[in-house]
Structure 1
């Protein structure tokens, strides 16, 4: 009748941390983090020819494609423009010959986390080290398919979003009340 300070019995249905039932815990009683569902990429890694103009741009000047991707993924953060990312990418390419793949891998990982994309077909670093142009084309297409106009950059896309939100709908006319 009165609440007791005794711990609940093991058979009592108690919700664990994260809202999981007790069966979702490890044997030690430590709660597991909630399950995260991942979505598939909108196009495959080898779908470069789906956007031929981007494919050509990425093959001849990957720094531009990477800069556009990084600016959108960084959401226009301070000192995070297409030119800054593209220049850093180019310097890494010219000075090291391969370390730009590690830099672009970090942007891909951040993009996957933001949009909860699956780690397909393999780890981000392996994708970028083995096939850098294909990975950049896939990331570009993904952002493009999500509604970003890549040539506008972050601020241009946000300006268009604000402008589209300003469109007012005509007021809803209510019907007459009848008895």
Structure 2
């Protein structure tokens, strides 16, 4: 993907601390974060790897407290794909200190762009993605 550095990056569609606006996703993410991560990563990967395979790797890394390294790589890929800023701080820092918040925000971002992470990769969204209110002038 080509990045145009002359333009200001887009903004995230949901704030970092509001759990993506979905109570259900928030609960799943806080209790079993590998599920939300697997769903997000399958979409970011465009279906090259399944939700289950991402979930297993995340879970294995979680047992040695290194899952944040894996998830920060996918946050970076998601940001690059959609031209999003690195906020509120670096990707690895966000996942190390606030992993569930980051996963919820990423899940919400994918949904706002027309994807349904809970259904897995089905190809690019067919409907026009929703534009966050902060981007409407």
- TM-score when scaled to structure 2? 0.84
Residues 21-60 of structure 1: pairs in structure 2 closer than 5 A: 34-48=5-19, 50-60=21-31
Does residue 1:67 correspond to 2:38, yes or no?
yes
Q: Give SS of 2:118's match.
A: coil
Does residue 1:90 correspond to 2:73, yes or no?
no
Q: Give SS of 1:131's match.
A: helix
Structure 2 vs 1, CA of residues 84 and 116 (structure 1 numbering), >3 Å: closer, same or farther?
Answer: same
Residue ranges of structure 2 left out of the alignment (5+ in a row): 128-137
Match of 1:154 in 2: 121
Match of 2:134 in 1: none
**Which of 1 and 2 has higher RCO (CA within 8 Å, sep 6+)?**
2
Residues 1-179 of structure 1: pairs in structure 2 closer than 5 A: 34-48=5-19, 50-77=21-48, 80-94=49-63, 96-97=64-65, 99-155=66-122, 158=123, 161=126
Runs of 4+ in 1 over 4 A off after TM superposition: none
Deviation at 1:37, TM superposition (A): 2.6
Deviation at 1:68, TM superposition (A): 0.3
* Higher alpha-carbon Rg: 1
- TM-score when scaled to structure 1? 0.65
